Amino acid sequence: MTNAEHRQHQTGLLLVAAAALCWSTSGLFVRGISADLTTMLFWRGIFSGTAVFTLFLLMERGRSLAILHSLRWPALAVALLSAAGMITGIGSLRYTSVADAMVIYATVPFMTAALAYMVIGEKPSRSTLIGSTVALFGVGVMLWGAKMGGSLFGQFLAVLMTLSMAGFTTIMRKYRNVPMLPAMAASAWICSLGCFWFASPMTIGTHDFLLCVAFGIVQNAAGLALYTFGSKRVPAAEATLLAALEVPFTPLWVFVFLGETPSIQTLVGGGIVLAALFLHILSEFRRRPAAMAMPN
């Protein structure tokens, strides 16, 4: 790895970690919005997709139409897989226990590592595999004593959610030169379309509507944009590992801002996950690129 590649890798680590922190604010919005789930997700997707697409237009300006016209199957695949991940993630929480869904989701770095190796020949680093294993253990501690054994259909949806994230992360990694912001905007709109048939969008109150706007822009759009930029700079398995920062930070924000005290298991398991991920990030920042380590 050259010095320039090393700096790109460091930037990618920070971008993906920032994306996970954005996604981790979901608990705050879900607690604060009284509208039903599908209505909330419909409006979130509308504003999320619009915000991401606006960012694309601002970045590309006069090139926007040409880029949109040039997009081919990788962008379409990312849009469909990302949307599938959002929809199946929602469904998994409805049809199985949160514990089941979280445990399955925590395996995403391993699924991504296997898929990236088969599709693009990218091997995960030892540090990534160790961090993924420790993070999975931490998630297990967080869920110690939680109700397990949800429906098989819900568990199947959780598996689909995990495979979707592994899939679109691998595609974005392989096609690093393809602008993927339009695909991410489309995925949010597709999710809204899927929720529309079960939602009551015109019955939402002003307070909930404004929170849905913030939910779409702060939590979803910012997370999607940061993950799009970051996942192109780091190996696919490493990107999904760092996305696990969402797991311990979600209850943390709810505790800090809403006063909901987490359980001992959540504190201990979350601490293990955080330690694993921060130590991984630290080790990657301290690692010297090959070009710098070579003797003169």
Break the chain into its structural domains and give their ranges: 11-293
Per-residue pLDDT, 217: 97
Residue 294 has pLDDT above 50, yes or no: no
Cα separation, 37 vs 59, in Å, equals 33
Structure tokens at 217: 């822009």
pLDDT one-digit tens code per residue, 197-248: 999 999 999 999 999 999 999 999 999 999 999 999 999 999 999 999 998 9
Q: Using CA atoms of 269, 273, 276, 282 in order, give the dihedral in degrees to the nearest 10.
A: -130
Neighbour-count burial of 101, counting CB atoms closer than 10 A to its CB (0-12 exposed, 13-18 middle, 19+ buried): buried
Q: Using CA atoms of 90, 95, 99, 102 in order, give the dihedral in degrees to the nearest 10.
A: -30
Q: Are 47 and 179 in contact (CB under 8 A)?
A: no
Query: Any alpha helices (H) in 24-107, and if so which ranges?
Result: 26-32, 37-60, 64-70, 73-95, 98-105
Question: How does residue 154 score in pLDDT terms, banded at 50, 70 and 90?
Answer: confident
pLDDT one-digit tens code per residue, 168-177: 999 999 999 9
| Whole-prediction pTM | 0.92
